[in-house]
């Protein structure tokens, strides 16, 4: 039995905790407040209230063999990002030095460290080029972890969706202002993130980076049209087609080299499941 620790048990982290608990592992979930303590306790997951921005609260965090680091800021502005991804991760690493060395830390980062590439493909060998301060903060957090001396793998995610977090509610008859330019969407279902983590624990090379995206980057116009048709509704997203599409297309080749099999290889399979569950 391994000790698995989830630092930031939110939308994705809580499901990762449940996955490993179902596999018979000992799981702890680091939570910022006591609000979810009872839920995790009922599921057999050890909740530990600790605030990454207050280093004095981190002494209570137990040691772990494997750690998934996926904190999220309370505020989505620059200051909120700096508190969590600069100060908070720095505090976590400092406190971690007081404990036995983990086998691996997997940090859930973001594909936003790449800016608009005009629809070009990117993969883990593509140099990051963040175009806003929050993306730069996320990249700096990656660099701090990779240079920490701990065994770390970076898992960059894009377009997380799943039960309770998707675009179904937006597809109503009311139309929206036209988009100036079409753009590529890179997505991954929450459950595929969860299923990838144990494989990364087992097979990933320390210091490596993996992209967490499904098989098919899709133009926003194509996705909008497909989902509207599937729901039998009018496409609510008017477009003004002007020039080539924006965005980037992210490759999952390296993740697949770990022999990972997607449960939802494209948005079609993922949204078909959500339609059955939620509508």
- Read off the pLDDT of residues 219-229 as tens digits, 9 standing for 90 and up: 998 998 999 89
- Which residues face 52 on adjacent strands? none
pLDDT for 32: 85
Sketch the domain layout of the chain as residue ranges. Answer: 3-167+187-217+248-267
Q: What is the mean pLDDT of the chain?
A: 93
- Read off the pLDDT of residues 118-137 as tens digits, 9 standing for 90 and up: 999 999 999 999 999 999 99
Please report which confidence band the pLDDT of residue 36 belongs to, taking 50, 70 and 90 as the band edges: confident
- Read off the pLDDT of residues 248-265 as tens digits, 9 standing for 90 and up: 999 999 999 999 999 999
CA distance 17 to 25: 9
Do you know the residue count of the chain? 279
CB 203 within 8 A of CB 278: no
According to CATH, the topology of domain 3-167+187-217+248-267 is Rossmann fold (3.40.50)
- Read off the pLDDT of residues 228-247 as tens digits, 9 standing for 90 and up: 899 888 776 666 566 789 99
pLDDT for 174: 47
CA atoms within 13 Å, Cβ hemisphere of 116: 9
Is a pLDDT exceeding 80 seen at residue 114? yes
Is a pLDDT exceeding 80 seen at residue 175? no
- Which residues face 48 on adjacent strands? 30
């Amino acid at each position: 039995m391994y000790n698995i620790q989830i630092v930031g048990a939110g939308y994705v982290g809580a499901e990762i905790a449940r996955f490993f608990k179902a596999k018979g592992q000992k799981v702890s979930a680091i939570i910022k407040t006591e609000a979810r303590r009872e839920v995790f306790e009922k599921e057999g997951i050890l909740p530990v209230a600790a605030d990454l921005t207050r280093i004095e609260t981190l002494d209570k965090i137990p040691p772990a063999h494997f750690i998934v680091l996926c904190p999220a800021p309370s505020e989505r502005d620059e200051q909120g990002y700096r508190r969590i991804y600069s100060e908070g991760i720095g505090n976590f690493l400092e406190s971690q030095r007081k404990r036995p060395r983990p086998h691996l830390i997997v940090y859930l980062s973001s594909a936003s460290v790449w800016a608009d590439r005009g629809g070009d493909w990117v993969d883990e060998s593509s140099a990051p080029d963040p175009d806003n301060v929050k993306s730069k903060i996320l990249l700096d957090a990656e660099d701090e972890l990779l240079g920490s001396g701990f065994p770390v793998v970076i898992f960059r995610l894009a377009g997380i969706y799943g039960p309770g977090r998707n675009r179904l509610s937006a597809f109503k008859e009311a139309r929206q202002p036209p988009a100036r330019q079409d753009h590529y969407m890179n997505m991954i279902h929450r459950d595929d993130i969860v299923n990838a983590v144990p494989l990364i624990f087992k097979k990933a090379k320390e210091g490596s980076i993996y992209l967490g995206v499904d098989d098919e980057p899709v133009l926003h116009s194509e996705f909008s049209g497909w989902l509207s048709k599937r729901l039998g509704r009018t496409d609510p997203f008017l477009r003004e087609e002007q020039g080539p599409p924006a965005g980037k297309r992210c490759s999952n080749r390296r993740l697949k080299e770990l022999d990972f099999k997607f449960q939802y290889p494209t948005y079609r399979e993922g949204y078909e499941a959500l339609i059955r569950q939620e509508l």
